[in-house]
Amino acid sequence: MLRYTSEAAFPVYIVHQTVIVGIAYVVVGWDMRVWPKFAIAMLGSFAISLGLYEYVIRRTDATRFLFGMRHRPLERVR
């Protein structure tokens, strides 16, 4: 778990601000109290940032290079 989170820290840090701004742009206009808006923005940005890391950034060598990550280790064939 430590290896995964240490590798994910920088890419998630870079991506999360854009995600927060995008979610907040949509959520601020809703007719709702502040705390539910905050919770939606916080949980949504957490989920989307980790999802982008896991399914977009981590899976391809080009995006790994753009975020300063090492190449993926070669898969061992049994």
The pLDDT score that the predictor gives to residue 41 is 95
Q: For residues 27-53, b (16+ Cβ closer than 10 Å) or e, as one string?
A: beeeeeeeeebeebbeebbeebbeebb
Mean pLDDT of the chain: 89
Query: 59 is written with which tokens?
Result: 């899976």
Q: Please choose, from the candidates 75, 41, 40, the residue with its C-alpha nearest in 3D space to the C-alpha of residue 59.
A: 75
Question: Which tops the pLDDT comparison, 39 or 8?
Answer: 39
Task: Return the minimum-mean-pLDDT range out of 11-15, 53-57, 72-76.
Answer: 72-76
Q: pLDDT tens-digit profile of 36-68?
A: 999 999 999 999 999 999 998 988 888 888 888
The pLDDT score that the predictor gives to residue 78 is 58
The pLDDT score that the predictor gives to residue 58 is 87
